Structure formats: C-alpha cells, structure tokens
C-alpha cells in the first residue's frame, strides 16, 4: 500500500511558480515549496528570477538554491546582482550558485570573468566571515586561471581576522593542498 504524501500547500498553488516562490517565506512550507520548484526545473525559472527581488532574504536564498541546480543564462545578471545584497546569506548563496559545479545540471561556472572581481572584493572587504569563506572557496576554483586570485588568497590566508576564512583560503593559496592538487600539469 502506497503511503500518501501530505502537503502543506493548497492544491491550487502546487504548480503556480510565483505562489511557490512566495511560500518559501513560510517556514513550514519552505521544504515542500523548494522541492516542487526543483521539480519544475526550467519552467519555474522566471518566477525564481522575480523571487530574487523578494523582500524576505529567506525567499531570495531559496530562489538561489533552486537556480543553482538549473543555471539559466537569462538569470545570470540577476544572480550576480545578489552578490551586492544587504543580507550576508544571500551574498554567500549567490557565490555558491555561481561557483558550484556539483549542483549544476547545465553549464558550469558561468560569467567567471564577471564574478571573479566581485568575489575578490567580497573576500577582502565583506564584514561577514561566511561570505568571505564562500568567496575564498569560489576563488580557489579559479586560482590557476587568474593570477591576481593567488595573491588575494595568500593575503586572506595570512591576515583575515577569522580562522575559518584563513583555513579555506590557505587550502587554495599557492602551496596549499587544493592548489597543488588542481595545478595544471606541464605538457612535454
């Protein structure tokens, strides 16, 4: 006998993307709304992009979470704008959305050239350690393609006020374990 799924959402909004995005603001509806938005895939993208401007940072973070799995070129500028959001959770999630290859079903590391300068600024100047940590992690993925990144990671490794930021930056700074592991092999 199949177990019936009980929903926290009214039947009329289960495929209404804007209503599902708004449901991300309600704690007991968040999980189901994000699951349905993920299941909606690219059909939900326009509503998710609108949700990036929602007044509640929980909704903006939830939209970024879903967009992380279905990267859409049209959403790219909206996601990049989230790097300057007032809420540190939104900035951190936007960095992850732009940098994480594991979550993507489509293109990986979009707009790298546009995002790297912003991530460098966030690593150096953001007041929240989680944002700086995410920036160090993201920049570590591109350290071999952007020489200025190596210097920034060394600076963070040696001088950031928070030990976790120093640790993550040290992994990808020259000489660090991730740096050495991802270093391109010399061709003969």
- What class, spelled out in words, does domain 17-108 have in CATH? mainly alpha
128 token code pair: 């929240």
Q: Which of 16-20, 99-103, 106-110, 112-116 shows the lowest mean pLDDT across its residues?
A: 106-110
- Reported as a pLDDT band with limits 50, 70 and 90, residue 172 is very high
Residue boundaries of the structural domains of the chain: 17-108, 111-183
Average pLDDT, the chain: 87
Of residues 17 and 112, more confidently modeled: 17
| pLDDT score at 98 | 86
Report the share of the chain in percent with pLDDT over 70: 85
């Amino acid at each position: 006998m199949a177990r019936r799924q009980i929903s926290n959402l009214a039947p009329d909004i289960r495929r209404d993307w804007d209503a599902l995005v708004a449901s991300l603001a309600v704690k007991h509806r968040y999980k189901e709304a994000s699951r349905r938005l993920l299941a909606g895939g690219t059909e939900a993208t326009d509503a998710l992009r609108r949700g990036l401007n929602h007044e509640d940072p929980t909704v903006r973070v939830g939209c970024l979470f879903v967009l992380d799995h279905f990267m859409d070129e049209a959403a790219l500028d909206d996601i990049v704008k989230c790097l300057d959001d007032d809420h540190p959770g939104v900035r951190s999630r936007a960095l992850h959305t732009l940098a994480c290859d594991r979550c993507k079903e489509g293109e990986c590391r979009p707009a790298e050239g546009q995002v790297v300068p912003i991530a460098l600024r966030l690593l150096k100047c953001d007041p929240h350690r989680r944002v700086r940590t995410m920036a160090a992690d993201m920049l570590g993925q591109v350290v071999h393609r952007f020489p200025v990144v190596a210097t920034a990671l060394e600076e963070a490794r040696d001088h950031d006020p928070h030990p976790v930021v120093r640790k993550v930056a040290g992994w990808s700074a020259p000489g660090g374990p991730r740096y050495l592991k991802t270093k391109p092999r010399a061709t003969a």
